Amino acid sequence: MFLATRGSACLGFRVQRRFTPASCRCFSSSAAVVDEPVVKPASFTIQEIPTDVVGDRVDKFLSARLGVPFSVSQKMLRTGRVRLHDGSKGHKIEGSYKLQMGDKLSVPMGADIAVAAEGAGRTKKTVYLSDAEAAEFRKRVLFMNEHVLILNKPAGLATQGGPKLTAHVDGMLECLKFESKEVPRLVHRLDKDVAGCLVLARTREAAVSLGGNLAKREGDRLSKVYWAALSARPQTPEGRIKMSLSKDAIRVMGSLKIVPTEDPSMRVSAVTEYLEIDHAGKSSAFVELYPETGRKHQIRVHCAEALRAPIIGDEKYGSGLGVAAHLVPAFNESIGLQLFSRSITLPYPDGDGKFERVDGGSRVRIVAPLPDHMVPVWKYFGWNQNHRSD
């Protein structure tokens, strides 16, 4: 059972202090933790830009030409592993940089460029699950075909590891290989406290394709729907929020936050559409959110700053629990963030007929159930836990 509690026991797994043999069926997550050295690329190669990609974004070019996930190409640029070459050391560039005629890029060489992108000198945390724990984790798979896997991520489980994190999806991917020879790859992230649909690519080719698809703003794109309980009603029942956000977190009153900004040197565009599904007076609302971009904390900031209705339970961008004062007695400090990834619509037909088909059957929609920590809130307000949008 996956529990959304604080601390290292957020998965309900026992902590194993002994080393688990390499023959363990599943390598990863919050049991025993082992440090493995990350491979450092031996040298760099200079890539001259072909004329047919002039004007393209450099992060998309790297994904397509190097065969790495879009998230990896962005990380290589962000950490300076890929540079615009000027004859000496070169200099860092943003992922949004448009390639120009005559540009040259210095790119790290190595057998696994995705591993190299993690950064030289760091260690990769590998942890081990028992067979029972691995089997329980696999039950969270909502959809799988030869290209993609949709995981129902529990709240409290980080998508990727960090200095203080021993439990994370990235460390459990070996468990989700099934019959494939390749370990699944992350193609986007969910905040640690956000539950629901998480997309994994089952092959390198799928990772490149899905990474580029997520970056698309229109057309036949992978689309995501989020549910949230807001601490106030939006002024209008539906709308489109276009509010630029800071690229990186900024310290505000002792807390690191993503903030709205119009400073061209530090902003990124962020767009979210929303629709109010239900409400309870003026003090709360059940909304669906449709992000067109995927910025860090985008939905949380847009709700708090643009709608003036922070998500209930959002202690970072709300006030306290983000619950109206007269509702506080109905909840407590363990309420949790009332936001989750409700559904993913994929550009694949559903040959088995087990899932909801949309757009004439050319795409399939995968829906996650309301997570356990959000059920009491929906029950309290009398909202429909099984609401389905067209």
Catalytic-residue membership of 35:
no
Alpha helices for the chain (secondary structure H) = 58-66, 70-78, 113-116, 131-138, 204-215, 298-301, 375-381
Judge residue 219's burial from the number of C-beta atoms within 10 Å of its C-beta, 0-12 exposed, 13-18 middle, 19 or more buried.
exposed
Q: For residue 45, give the nearest of 110, 109, 115 by alpha carbon.
A: 109
The answer to whether 228 and 289 have CB atoms below 8 angstroms apart is yes
217, 73, 214, 94: which is closest to 148 by C-alpha? 214
Query: Which regions of 154-209 does DSSP assign to beta strands (E)?
Result: 185-186, 195-201
How buried is residue 235: exposed, middle or buried, by Cβ count under 10 Å (0-12/13-18/19+)?
exposed
List the one residue out of 232, 196, 203, 199 whose CA is nearest residue 213.
199
How far CA 37 is from CA of 27, 41, 130, 277, in Å, comes to 16, 12, 23, 49
Q: Which of 59, 103, 170, 191 is catalytic?
A: 191
Cβ(295)–Cβ(96) below 8 Å: no
**Pairs from 332-335 (Cβ < 8 Å, separation ≥ 24):** 334/5, 334/373, 335/373, 335/377
- Contact 240/270 with Cβ under 8 angstroms? no
**Number of Cβ within a 10 Å radius of residue 290:** 16
Q: What are the catalytic residues?
A: 191
